[in-house]
Structure 1
């Protein structure tokens, strides 16, 4: 009889422990899935070498989590206490503690974005990179020129990434894009190598920002190259000027420098900017056209012409619009 009573007490005790465990586990599950204390999105940096206790204190101080103890317990219960990773994290407002632990265990650190627009010169690209506050060693970035392969694009990077590593990614992207354009080029294209294709693409990039025009602009330049005509591209003139203030003059057009396609025949020796993928493909696959000329139309696009006579009329129409819209003449 006594033995049965003891057995009953043991069973009751085990049952009570089980109930307590379920209750505690249930409470823990509620606590770690409910909305956290963070009121606004916040960036928090966890230094290298921090253990779970230091991380818990840091997150509590930053009001990402409500309890240092609960964070440590949760990390243990989720088998993540040995896997929490250092880095810069972006935490959303109200993020539950469970998601904080998951994010840090998976190393989902914040990603930062830098956009390099098409058509920039190297110094402009360098300035953009040096202004990225989350990159490191920006002061060690080497000087580079338009001949260096850099693809204008939007790049993602992590906190503390070395600026030179990002620069290498930009170079690799351009190598790939240039290779693809070169492999897809038209067979009768009047360019001898990848560098010349890059030079042509850079001129196209500076001539138009209208995607639908790139192929036609490329077609005009290819036609002129085939006929032995000077390209007469204003951006090539501007590239070599030291006194350019926004207005190109007849004197500028006559200025002798290696990139001025009003005075030299063929392509300049080096690119005049960093072209994007669209201009690379336009250079490789220009439109089949009879046009040899184009002029701006005051709306951001261009008017194309087959003959010089047509072109002169288009130029006069452009000048008339310019005088009316810019100078206010009637």
Structure 2
């Protein structure tokens, strides 16, 4: 009997079709499983996201109804940044989460917060709290106000404070040199270290108190309160410019950073040249060349001078950068934010010298010969001018 080839072919085809149908059913099942898994995952994510959204919104919404609201008194010190303000509000109970409040402020792009004493309540929305802090304490409520310009020496700073407050200069100096008080500042602020306790410093806190406007609600303030407010403002400023000294950074300590910034503050005529001056300091330090900065000599003498004479350069002092290599023993004034930022970010160039002309122009040079040429040109002009004056006086006689 002969096998039928058509029958075998039909059987194989049927078997193949059956296998394909089975694979389709399996693929369909897999797709359904994946689909449901995706749907489930989306639901979980959505639920989590919604939960997170509700939590975040809940923390910026009022904590209590009007009838259940609690009054909260908070004090925002001068110079407080967003992080400090948020921490103060959370600790006082005015808000639930400092972290969310900080991020909410940054997301909204809010700034311009004012120092002062505030009475808030727990029925306030985050937006209301922000508006309250931006409006600030009414000017008439400030009983004590003073302004410290950038570049002031500590003696000048305390003299200005004494003239505007109930405090005496002697009180301020005694507090600023009290070792127990200095230790509290060292414990409180990262940027203040044992460096301020060095014996060769003229004033421990020279360069550490930020120059700015300070407002106090109280009519009478203490020396410790004033100095702490200024130290807090400096800490905030250092954070804002991302100052982070260390072994791998431009300066190994805040003390050296502030010393360099104070030299820049003393030398700079305008803001644009701060980075260039910082670059000169950086270049000289890199090759162990004496800085030869006039403001350090003036500070070493202890009194302001219009011009630095050659005989002044010989003064023996740890602040005299003509006699001592490297940075001075400590800061020589209270530098402002731009000088601090310039010290952290020196301009890259090859200059080692600069000269301030009588007209207020600053000329930078790479070599001593180039620098000396510029100096000689101006000295010659001064001599010619002096001779012209003498001749004029003779004619008048």
How high is the TM-score relative to the length of structure 1?
0.60
Q: Is 1:314 equivalent to 2:374 in the alignment?
A: yes
- Partner of 2:214 in structure 1? 155
Q: Is 1:191 equivalent to 2:251 in the alignment?
A: yes
Change (3 A) 1:328 1:161: farther
Q: Is 1:216 equivalent to 2:272 in the alignment?
A: no
Give the deviation of 1:161 after TM superposition. 4.2
- Partner of 2:325 in structure 1? 265
Give the deviation of 1:257 after TM superposition. 1.4
C-alpha distance in 1 between matches for 2:248 and 2:349 = 14
Q: Which runs of 5+ in 2 are unaligned?
A: 1-135, 177-202, 392-397
Q: Is 1:226 equivalent to 2:280 in the alignment?
A: no
Give the deviation of 1:312 after TM superposition. 0.8
C-alpha distance in 1 between matches for 2:303 and 2:167 = 33
C-alpha distance in 2 between matches for 1:155 and 1:268 = 29
Alignment counterpart, residue 249 of structure 1, candidates 309, 320, 334: 309
- Partner of 2:166 in structure 1? 136
Q: Which has the larger radius of gyration?
A: 2
C-alpha distance in 1 between matches for 2:386 and 2:216 = 43
Give the deviation of 1:192 after TM superposition. 1.4
Quick check: 2:298–2:305 contact (8 Å CA) kept in 1? no
- Partner of 2:228 in structure 1? 168
Q: Is 1:120 equivalent to 2:152 in the alignment?
A: yes
Quick check: 1:220–1:291 contact (8 Å CA) kept in 2? yes
Instruction: Judging by fraction of residues, say which structure has more helix.
Output: 2
Deviations 1:218-274 (A, max 9, x none): 000100000111000011111112587543222211222111111111011111111
Quick check: 2:154–2:333 contact (8 Å CA) kept in 1? yes
Quick check: 1:185–1:285 contact (8 Å CA) kept in 2? no
What is the correspondence of 1:16-165 to structure 2 with a 5 Å cutoff?
108=138, 109-111=140-142, 113-132=145-164, 135-138=165-168, 140-143=171-174, 144=176, 145=203, 146-147=205-206, 149-158=208-217, 160-164=219-223, 165=225
Change (3 A) 1:255 1:192: same
Query: Structure 1 stretch 147-156 or stretch 229-238: which is displaced more?
Result: 147-156
- Partner of 1:279 in structure 2? 339
The alignment partner of 1:287 has SS state of coil
The alignment partner of 1:291 has SS state of coil
Deviations 1:107-141 (A, max 9, x none): 84433542111111111000100011xx3344633
Give the deviation of 1:301 after TM superposition. 3.4
Deviations 1:22-78 (A, max 9, x none): xxxxxxxxxxxxxxxxxxxxxxxxxxxxxxxxxxxxxxxxxxxxxxxxxxxxxxxxx
C-alpha distance in 1 between matches for 2:353 and 2:213 = 33
Change (3 A) 1:185 1:243: closer
Q: Is 1:238 equivalent to 2:298 in the alignment?
A: yes
C-alpha distance in 2 between matches for 1:177 and 1:328 = 50
Q: Which runs of 5+ in 1 are unaligned?
A: 1-105
Give the deviation of 1:179 after TM superposition. 4.1
